[in-house]
Homo-oligomer: A and B are copies of this chain.
Amino acid sequence: MLIQVEQSLLAENDRFAAQNRAFFAGRRTRCFNLISSPGAGKTTLLEKTLSALRDRSVACAVIEGDQATDLDAQRIARTGVPVFQIETGRSCHLDAHQVQHALGRLEVPDRGLCFIENVGNLICPTEFQLGEHERVTILSVAEGADKPAKYPLAFSTATALVIAKIDLLPHVDFDLAEAKHLIAGLNPNAPIFEVSARTGFGMDAWLSWLQRAVDTPL
């Protein structure tokens, strides 16, 4: 009974996700779903990414998901990029219907990029397609190298991985080789970007990957 309800919930979600994907096809814009623990650095990475993409003349839009507050949306708004905030209340993930609602109210660019910053949670968001073309899971080095083994779906369902806060490596016990080995075991083909949004380390490779998404037709 409970399982049936969950299945019908996910099936309904997938229908909305397909519609969102069609909307993005109409806008010729690629959508990126960013998933991580709370505090892994999604918003800071996004702030720096949006500024750099503006310098490359790539138009962007952002959907922000949070259980409460519009703190992140305020941070994104200061970059000048259109942003729509979804407050999920007690819910632990964004769903495709919420994203559809946001897409009706957000200025999504033509031939640009749309970023969805999901609720900070390595588990529940993995079950819900939002209509994204790329799913980027972000792991901060402060969290420990064992996280891919412990939260496998977040890493196996991603199409790209970011290992964030690389500048903290000297100050934490994080085995970078082990983390990359665990990720490759779950997801051998996805690119892994080692990045520090604070120092700029690794940002070029990450930005070039995003730029390719703009330059490649959907």
Interface residues of A (CB under 8 A from B): 1-2, 5, 9, 37-40, 66-69, 71-72, 90, 92, 119-124, 127, 140, 142-144, 146-147, 149-153, 165, 167-168, 171-173, 198
Contacts and interface: CB of A to CB of B under 8 A. Distances in A.
A83 B2 CA distance: 30
A146 B152 CA distance: 27
Given A38-B143, A39-B147, A90 B153 contact: yes
A120 B172 contact: no
Given A37-B143, A38-B122, A39-B147, 17 more contacts: A5-B5, A37-B39, A37-B120, A67-B150, A67-B152, A68-B149, A72-B150, A90-B153, A92-B92, A92-B124, A120-B122, A121-B122, A140-B142, A142-B168, A167-B171, A171-B171, A173-B198
A38 B119 contact: no
Given A121-B122, A150-B66, A171-B171, A39 B140 contact: yes
Contact of A150 (B69, B147, B198): B69
A200 to B, nearest CB: 15
Given A71-B150, A92-B92, A150-B67, A142 B123 contact: no
A205 to B, nearest CB: 23
A170 B5 CA distance: 48
Nearest to A91: B123
A143 B39 contact: yes
Contacts of A150: 38, 66-69, 71-72, 120
